[in-house]
Chains A and B, each alone.
Chain A
Amino acid sequence: MTNGTPALKLEKLKKSYSTGVLALDSVSLEVGAGRFFGLLGPNGAGKTTLINSIVSLARPDSGNVEIFGRDAYREFREARRMIGVSPQEINLDKFLTVEETMLYHAGYYGVPKEKARKRTGELLERFALTDKRKQRVNTLSGGMKRRVLFARALMHDPKVLFLDEPTAGVDVELRYKLWGYIRELNHAGLTILLTTHYLEEAEALCEEIALINGGRIAAQGTNAELKERYGAASIEEVYLKVVGRDTGG
């Protein structure tokens, strides 16, 4: 988009809950434009809180979030238009058909109707959902719902795509298909931030990885850098060393 401007820039992001839990402890992070970035960490480490703070589903206590130089809160319209999210939990509007899901999503992002129709046709075709387009989303199988979520996130042509456990609960065949498509999107220039529990998924897809634990970035670097730094043969080994070290394991 703009040369040198990071796709995502977080500065000292802090988020605590009323229970007293500090979910994000001064997290700073930069993701370059066009990068494939992985965010790994154990359950409760702060991954989803971090994504939610970026996409404004959570309200950080302090710190800054910028999407391609646009402040996610002060310039929320511009920033949010550049973000696509495929959430961990399926959250499709049960009153809509597959096609309407796409068209309404486009409308929420201000995409003109004609463009939205064309894009809907392309994406439904790409995700093998064309013959399901008139079907209500709540009647679809789990795998199909996951595909709809994915297609929906791409409807408004985002510049940064957040994939929160995109392959959770999908069969192996669909997982590999999604991997292929995610790679294709990234090669076309889309910046991707992926959270996953499958370490081999992160290793296969991501150029750069951050390990988050206890609300802090515990380690960050390219796959090769991390492996070298921790003397590990795989990302799984790095993960166990970092998370194990931090939790005293």
Chain B
Amino acid sequence: MATEHTAPMQPPRTETGWIGWARFNLFGSVPSTIVTVVSAPLALWACWAGLSWVFTTADWTLVTSRPQQYVIGIYPTEHAWRPLVGWLMVSVLFGLAAGMWKGAALRIAIGYGAIALVVGLLPYGALHEGVNMPLDIRLLVLGNLPVLAVAYWLGTTEAVGRPRWLIVGGLVTYVLFLSLLVGLPGVTAVLPGVTAMEPVSPRVWGGLMLNLILSVSGIVLSFPIGVALALGRRSNLPVVKLMCVVFIEVFRGVPLITLLFVSQVLVPLALPENFPVNSVTRAAIVITLFSAAYMAENIRGGLQGLPPGQAEAARALGLPGWRVTVWILLPQAVRNVIPAIVGQFIGLFKDTSLVYIIGMLDILEIGRAVVQGNVEFADNGRELYLFVAVIFWLITYTMSYASRSLERHLGVGQR
């Protein structure tokens, strides 16, 4: 009997390379072959038709002639530097995250930088007469790139590249960004002639900036509220439990649009007279609470999925009740339902486009205002909706991409 081992041989040509791939994926069986024969020409035709429409038939003037409006809405032009400085601060966060985690965070930051580059370099003037981006604005936009690079470098350092600094930076950015947008009331009274920071009403916030502000506020606030509701619903205090159940079920059972109407009509009545809350804040609150109700159910699902032994082991170690929840149960529950939570964040971001109901000009509505207000764009609705759809898609896709990579990252060491 031969004792030598059989040397490994190359697989047949038909099993590897593109031939093998096609054999397996396109002509694997008779039905598959039929599908390929029918669908391949169809798919090619659809791609060709789509691309030729995008590049020849479609008229993108309504997008390229108004870059500022899609980004910051009708925020006064002389104050446009304020949101742009805010944008620079956001770039710091992206850079830090990229330096700290590399991988998916780095790829997201590169895409983010590429968008800043395109927005800052597009030759608007050459495309449309009378439309141009002032040099200072361009510089502010392009400034995101060096900021991103420096923050990336900082993120790779031991001292700065820690999640806790990212969280602190995020909160600081959030507060500063909003203060920049709101302005300093009374500054002109104290310092006559200084108009740089005079207040700007939230009514004129708009464009993609508005969608992002609403969704970031919603995400930041709906998570803790959702956690509180989930814990309340599981608590053994009957009154708390009942209120949480009623709150969650009402907010989940009624359309967001209806709630937005209620927020404009009923909420002002339910608050004391002269309570300082404007319609934008009210909308943000309603969107946040709506999202929090769903968040609560997601987190409750995560908590229910945990084996009871986890809480018992923690109690047996002598941890007091609330610490068992905060240190042992919540981290696991949240990690187990990350896809659902990010899905909820994506839903919240998409829902911000509903603020048109209360007359806010978000990226969708400002585009519609352009189409309806200008005869020359009356037939360009398709281009507008496609453009808005792609913007939304890019952001939501990035979110789910980040979520998948986070899940993989946390999956390490999981049982």
Verify that A and B bind, or say they do not: no
B residues whose Cβ falls under 8 Å from a Cβ of A: none
